């Protein structure tokens, strides 16, 4: 059984979906005012691992993710500019242009990281009516009040406000993060903000309370409940969402419905860079574009973001790519060796020859045992380190038997690796990239001619000239090996 750490209870719990066989999953999406940082992308790698493992475990997953394209202000205290409006001024375009540009870039990023897209991708600006309807419902239930700049949620009327974050509400003080203004309580938050008099915004709508735009938090409640119901299974996000955003989601949702909002809250820890918080001022603010500009494979970034347990702080450094490359190379070399396994001619009955060891070797029980250990590791709150260790143990054991297995067994092993990679999401795409590059090189006329000439020279036992051609091929990036299994060709640099 799958066990997950629930941020709401601070306990590892058995995972039991509301409806057997179906998991309703909501992932807090990006605010699209700039490129997503690698810290932002960690949250989506974690959610992707969770989703992939649920599907591996034969759950159907209804995956919903939002795009915040309005309402996220530069301060958590409901003051400051809308982040998209601010970016629009800087780039001298409209907020709609900013939304389109960075939403498209984010979707390209998740493709390059092999993150599975959500079944439903919902934008805040496409769901203004749903947000207004939810605010009206809260208004009817007496949870709201009006100030000169908007409609606010009265947290004093929600008895278990702050339960998720374990907030000491009495101890909170007004200051940098808490600006009281006309708020009744320090923790009250905006549901709808009014447009400033005499100033037209790029994004603003008519509402029962006046022209304006929704607060940041209301969108997730309105959209998640529209697509997943008033109570659903899992909500994910970064731990930075716990004290305010997710706490406010719970309050407004449960106040509106009188029902529990989410059964399991899962949060990934921060990503820091060489021991420091990521920031532009420190020059350690990295996006996927920065990774690609350094000629580094995005799938290696996926591995880096994946291999540290989601609840542990990830200390990023570009040195991490050396380790990731070594890990990925181990997988690729293993698969390449399996590709070189070929069956020898079958022995005739009565020949007096003993059966080959491969005919006696049992591969299925080994695969079954390793699969079980991998599942046990991932069932333990997605213990990725233990799962990877089991996979390495399997590969090491299989490498010792490589000379004994036949082509059919090699295929079984390869299929098993790809089966597990349906969870991990980086091995098979790297292998396909490798195969495509190798095929491209081998189709080159010069390379084909050199290989043909070398084969002819070896056939005539002219090994000296054949070896010279082998060196020429190496300079072109191709390694040629002759073995009892036949001629093996591979890339000199597999990544």
Same domain (yes/no): 130, 203: yes
Phi and psi (nearest 5°) for 314? -100, 120
Considering 393, 425, 457, which residue would you say is the last residue of a domain?
Answer: 425
Q: Report H helices in 355-444.
A: 357-360, 364-379, 384-399, 407-424, 427-442
Q: Other CB atoms closer than 10 Å to residue 432's CB: what's the count? A: 10
| CA-based max dimension of the chain | 99
Do 398 and 479 reside in the same domain of the chain? no
Q: Both 391 and 479 in a single domain?
A: no
End-of-domain residue from the set 206, 234, 268: 268
Question: Is residue 48 assigned to a domain?
Answer: yes
- The predicted model gives 433-458 an average pLDDT of 92
Encode pLDDT of 332-362 as tens digits. 999 999 998 875 544 434 434 444 444 457 8
Of 92-106, 117-131, 411-425, 444-458, the least confident? 444-458
CATH number, residue 63: 3.40.50.620
Question: Can you give the pLDDT at residue 484?
Answer: 65
In whole angstroms, what is the distance from residue 134 CA to residue 367 CA?
Answer: 51
Tell me how far CA of residue 44 lies from CA of 49, 199, 493, 494, in angstroms. 9, 36, 30, 27
Start-end of H helices in 1-148 = 38-56, 83-91, 95-112, 128-140
Whether 71 and 215 map to the same domain: the answer is: yes
User: What pLDDT was estimated at residue 357?
Assistant: 45
In the chain, the number of structural domains is: 3
At 55-94, the pLDDT tens digits run 999 999 999 999 999 999 988 778 888 999 999 999 999 9
Is residue 294 one of the residues assigned to a domain?
no
Provide mean pLDDT across the span 103-119.
98
Provide long-range contacts, Cβ within 8 A and 24+ apart, for 280-289: 285/37, 286/37, 286/38, 286/316, 287/35, 287/36, 287/37, 287/38, 288/35, 288/36, 288/38, 288/41, 288/109, 288/112, 288/113, 289/35
In sequence order, which ranges of 2-82 are alpha helices (DSSP H)?
Answer: 38-56
Q: Are residues 473 and 369 part of one domain? A: no
Q: Which of 345-349, 405-409, 463-467 has the lowest mean pLDDT?
A: 345-349
- The predicted model gives 380-399 an average pLDDT of 96
Identify the bridge partners of residue 380 per DSSP, sorted by sequence position: 3
Question: Same domain, yes or no, for 418 and 449?
Answer: no
Residues 166 and 227 in one domain: yes
Lowest mean pLDDT among 2-16, 334-348, 429-443: 334-348
Whole-structure pTM value = 0.93
CA distance 421 to 116: 13
For residues 263 and 234, is the Cβ–Cβ distance under 8 A? yes
What domain range includes position 338? 321-346+355-425
- Examine the domain organization and report whether 480 and 395 are in the same domain: no
Which tokens is 60 given?
């159907």
Q: Is residue 8 part of a domain?
A: yes
The more confidently predicted of residues 174 and 144 is: 144
Residue 332 maps to which CATH number?
Answer: 1.20.120
Judgement on whether residues 108 and 79 belong to the same structural domain of the protein? yes
Q: Verify that 221 and 366 share a domain, yes or no.
A: no
Q: Are residues 240 and 328 in the same domain?
A: no
Least trusted range by pLDDT, from 219-233, 235-249, 311-325, 351-365: 351-365
Residues 402 and 481 in one domain: no
What DSSP letter does each residue of 312-368 carry, written as one string? Answer: SPEEE-TTHHHHHHHHHHHHHHHHHHHHT--PPPPPPTTS-PPPPHHHH---HHHHH
Residue 301 in domain:
no
Are 248 and 217 in contact by the 8 Å Cβ rule? The answer is: yes
Q: Residue 167's pLDDT is what?
A: 75
């Amino acid at each position: 059984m799958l066990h997950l750490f629930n941020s709401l209870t601070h306990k590892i719990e058995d995972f039991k979906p509301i409806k057997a066989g179906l998991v309703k999953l909501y992932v807090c999406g990006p605010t699209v005012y700039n490129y997503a940082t690698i810290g932002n992308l960690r949250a989506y790698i974690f959610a992707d691992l969770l989703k992939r493992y649920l599907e591996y475990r034969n759950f159907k997953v209804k995956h919903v993710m939002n795009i915040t394209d309005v309402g996220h202000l530069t301060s958590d205290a409901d003051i400051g500019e809308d982040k998209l409006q601010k970016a629009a001024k800087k780039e001298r375009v409209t907020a709609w242009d900013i939304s389109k540009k960075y939403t498209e870039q984010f979707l390209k990023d998740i493709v390059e990281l092999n993150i599975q897209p959500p079944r439903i991708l919902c934008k805040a600006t496409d769901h203004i009516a749903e947000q207004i309807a939810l605010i009206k419902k809260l208004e009817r239930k007496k949870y709201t009040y009006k100030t000169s700049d908007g409609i606010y949620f009265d947290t004093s009327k929600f008895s278990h406000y702050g339960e998720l974050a374990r907030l000491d509400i009495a101890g909170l003080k007004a200051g940098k993060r808490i600006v009281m203004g006309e708020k009744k309580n320090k923790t009250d938050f905006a549901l709808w903000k009014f447009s400033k008099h005499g100033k037209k915004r790029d994004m603003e709508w008519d509402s029962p309370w006046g022209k304006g735009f929704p607060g940041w938090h209301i969108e997730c409640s309105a959209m998640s409940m529209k697509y997943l119901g008033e109570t659903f299974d899992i909500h994910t996000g970064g731990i930075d969402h716990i004290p305010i955003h997710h706490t406010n989601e719970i309050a407004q949702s449960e106040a509106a419905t009188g029902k529990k909002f989410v059964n399991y809250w899962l949060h990934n820890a921060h990503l820091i860079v060489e021991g420091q918080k990521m920031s532009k001022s420190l020059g350690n603010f990295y996006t996927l574009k920065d990774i690609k500009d350094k000629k580094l494979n995005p799938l290696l970034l996926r591995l880096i973001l994946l291999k540290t347990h989601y609840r542990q702080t990830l200390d990023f450094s570009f040195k991490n790519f050396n380790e990731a490359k070594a890990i990925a190379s181990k997988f690729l070399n293993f698969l390449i060796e399996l590709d070189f396994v070929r069956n020898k001619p079958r022995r005739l009955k009565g020949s007096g020859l003993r059966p080959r060891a491969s005919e006696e070797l049992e591969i299925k029980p080994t695969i079954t045992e390793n699969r079980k250990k991998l599942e046990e590791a991932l069932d333990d709150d997605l213990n990725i380190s233990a799962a990877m260790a089991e996979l390495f143990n399997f590969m090491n054991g299989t490498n010792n038997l490589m000379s004994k297995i036949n082509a059919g067994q090699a295929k079984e092993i390869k299929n098993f690796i790809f089966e597990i990679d349906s969870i991990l999401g980086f091995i098979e795409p790297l292998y396909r990239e490798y195969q495509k590059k190798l095929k491209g090189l081998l189709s080159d006329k010069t390379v084909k001619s050199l290989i043909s000439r070398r084969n002819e020279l070896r056939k005539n036992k002219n090994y000296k000239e054949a070896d010279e051609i082998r060196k020429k091929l190496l300079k072109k990036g191709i390694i040629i090996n002759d073995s009892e299994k036949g001629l093996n060709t591979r890339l000199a640099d597999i990544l």
